[in-house]
A and B are shown apart, each in its own frame.
Chain A
Amino acid sequence: AQTVTQSQPEMSVQEAETVTLSCTYDTSENNYYLFWYKQPPSRQMILVIRQEAYKQQNATENRFSVNFQKAAKSFSLKISDSQLGDTAMYFCASLIIQGAQKLVFGQGTRLTINP
Chain B
Amino acid sequence: NAGVMQNPRHLVRRRGQEARLRCSPMKGHSHVYWYRQLPEEGLKFMVYLQKENIIDESGMPKERFSAEFPKEGPSILRIQQVVRGDSAAYFCASSPPLSEQFFGPGTRLTVL
Q: Which residues of A are at the interface with B, using a C-beta cutoff of 8 A?
A: 33, 35, 37, 42-45, 47, 50, 91, 95, 97, 100-108
Contact = CB atoms under 8 A, between A and B. Distances in A.
A44 B102 CA distance: 10
Given A33-B100, A50-B100, A97-B98, A107 B42 contact: yes
Given A47-B100, A100-B48, A100-B58, A105 B106 contact: no
A100 B41 CA distance: 22
Contact of A104 (B45, B91, B100, B108): B45
Given A101-B31, A102-B56, A44 B103 contact: yes
Contact of B106 (A37, A43, A50, A108): A43
Interface of B: 31, 33, 35, 41-45, 48, 55-56, 58-59, 89, 91, 93, 95, 98, 100-103, 105-106, 108
A107 B58 contact: no
A45 B59 contact: no
A44 B106 contact: yes
Nearest to A107: B42
B105 A43 contact: yes
Contact of A106 (B42, B56, B59): B42
Given A43-B106, A91-B43, A102-B59, 18 more contacts: A37-B103, A43-B108, A44-B105, A45-B43, A45-B91, A45-B93, A50-B100, A95-B101, A101-B33, A101-B48, A101-B95, A102-B33, A102-B48, A103-B43, A103-B45, A105-B42, A105-B43, A108-B42
